[in-house]
Amino acid sequence: MKTEIRGRERLAAEIAARPAAGGKLPSQLRRDAIDYAQRRVAQGASRGEIARELGVAVISVQRWLEIAKRQPAQRVVRKLRRVRVVEPLPARSAIVVTTTQGLRVEGLGLGDVIALLRALG
């Protein structure tokens, strides 16, 4: 409990010491405030209590908690994956054979098309 009080006092002091009172908190300080507010809400504290503890407006605490709801999707850590570069596949033939019966054949080379036409007669 003493650790939490010290943490709250440290956080409140850092918030109070920021250069532009009423302005945005630096990102790390905002993350700390959001974490603190979430812990306190989980303990049953009201937004008003949290605001008084940190010396901020209730609307600030409300905004922090709204940010926390949206951030899990935004905090996804993307990892790079190793890939292997391979030679591209040979280009497919642009030759398309369509019979009068509706059979369509694609992807054959010229020699295969000639053989197919001869077989179809």
Q: What is the pLDDT of residues 32-44, one digit of tens each?
A: 888 899 989 999 9
User: Into how many domains does the chain fold?
Assistant: 1
Domain assignment of residue 116, yes or no: no
Domain assignment of residue 53, yes or no: yes
Q: If you average pLDDT over residues 39-67, what whole number do you get?
A: 91
Q: pLDDT-based confidence at 59, cuts 50/70/90?
A: very high
Asked if 18 contacts 56 with a C-beta cutoff of 8 angstroms, the reply is no
Domain assignment of residue 57, yes or no: yes
Identify which has the larger pLDDT, 71 or 82. 82
Distance CA 14, CA 21 (A): 11
Identify which has the larger pLDDT, 52 or 75. 52
Q: Quick one: which H or E segment has residue 97?
A: strand 96-98
Domain assignment of residue 120, yes or no: no
